[in-house]
Chains A and B, each alone.
Chain A
């Protein structure tokens, strides 16, 4: 089994300085090291529960990575890894964005220290103001014919206008690294819009979140992906835009209550994207 570091990871831990990071194989699988202090355990417990939960409708399962159990892997000191579907394996040139959902990333069951740490970060980012924050993204620039990703520190400091801009850049073709040029939103209708686009998928998720009380997806992210290769070959419509939920290290039981924290943030993200779809040139809020 030949394992290597994933190419297009935009957020989360990466393999550096001897610390384990995720790996991918050539069979479409993603190996995620079990994080310490019970987070890895919680994530495994979530995947185990979710994969056997018969009350989750089929049309919602597609928004979650497939789970293939845990495995000890050579080269990671025999440490156990979670084996998941590699969400990017069917893409040849994917643009990817990771959006951390919820107006708070802390939750009642967490330690006081953790809560304070999260609160500080939530207040300093768009988490509190907008109900979500952009953790990272990588976009294919069709003029430069290469990938571009913004500086992580810069991203952490963006406010609401920065979020709007990033969501537009994500579906644009023009020189992205040049911050003074306006993004052209060239792929808005095929990536965000349409019956298979991201907005439709988010709306489907929203309906489920209005009723499901199984899980509270604290600190989870929504990953948005689409294919640039088909655009390069002249087919703007075949972008295979996909929404996936990822990162379940802090998921807890819903205990009969809906995940109002995630849902509020999801509705906010939907509104941002819908605004861009309805105003491909510029939304009223950006004037």
Chain B
């Protein structure tokens, strides 16, 4: 039985009779093949990627597993349509916080139509894409004080400037009232989610090393999805704390092109900028924790 995914934060949503992706209860994500060659392009990418022997094993984990295409009853009632069958990257999580970040200082690329180019560059300039090399596309966070999920309005997210993006990345790892725009995010989970040997920063750095030399693909308009488990932070009456299993995944490959011997400098520049933002948050938290520790030690 297929249903609308609970935790989708960006892209087309299969709601109110619209065409969008669906999930089953076996950890699979069904993405309808989009019209005008994009769907075909994405399927071609997945096929090429899964067969490509030049992609190192440790990089495969950053991409959803591909299970081919299948005819599936579409969410908008238009009958059976071809869908890509992918790994549902949030299926192993009970209460995941999720954020979609579109990477690159431009979402257009050489040889696109003038219309598409104009549409992309307008959006790139209006958002943080040009200024930061990435933009937050959407997110939902579990508010530990309200015990519910919170997601900001899409228009608000698209209107973020540099400070808004920074704030969103802090909220993403905070436990205090997120809906309240006046409260300062406490970044309570920054070290466990962003930091550590298995945290998001470590994974981003691994991806960065690959992007510095891979010339196989140009990931135009791709997103990085960040996920982590909130249940690990909820006190469960003496139960041992589990790791938040923070995970980075690359998603949305409708505009991927051949690298043709050139690195994906557009994605890489944006990735490095994103890494710096995450590092800065970790550093502030570390410094704050150091001050707190020394206060404790000095009897404050």
Contact = CB atoms under 8 A, between A and B. Distances in A.
The answer to whether A and B assemble together is: yes
Interface of A: 103-104, 108, 123, 128-131, 160, 210-211, 213, 255-258, 260-261, 263-265, 267-268, 270-271, 283-285
A260 B261 contact: no
Interface of B: 105-106, 110, 125, 130-133, 162, 212-213, 215, 260-263, 265-266, 268-270, 272-273, 275-276, 280
A255 B162 contact: yes
Given A160-B261, A261-B105, A271-B263, A211 B110 contact: no
A285 B272 contact: no
29 contacts: A103-B105, A103-B265, A103-B266, A104-B106, A108-B125, A130-B262, A130-B265, A131-B263, A160-B261, A160-B262, A210-B276, A211-B276, A257-B131, A257-B132, A257-B162, A257-B273, A260-B132, A261-B133, A263-B269, A264-B105, A264-B272, A265-B269, A267-B268, A267-B269, A268-B262, A271-B213, A271-B263, A283-B261, A285-B260
A256 B128 CA distance: 13
B102 to A, nearest CB: 14
Contacts of A131: 262-263, 265-266, 269
A264 B125 contact: no
Contacts of A256: 162, 280
Contacts of A258: 272-273, 276
A256 B212 CA distance: 23
A263 B106 CA distance: 14
Residue from B106, B133, B270, B272 with most neighbouring chain A CB atoms (10 Å) = B272
Given A130-B262, A285-B261, A271 B212 contact: yes
Given A210-B276, A261-B105, A267-B212, 17 more contacts: A103-B105, A103-B106, A103-B269, A123-B110, A129-B110, A131-B263, A131-B269, A160-B262, A213-B276, A255-B162, A257-B132, A257-B273, A260-B272, A263-B268, A263-B269, A265-B265, A267-B265
A221 to B, nearest CB: 17
Contacts of B270: 260, 264
Residue from A160, A265, A267, A270 with most neighbouring chain B CB atoms (10 Å) = A267
Nearest to A164: B261
A214 B66 CA distance: 43
A264 B219 CA distance: 14
A172 to B, nearest CB: 20
Nearest to B277: A257
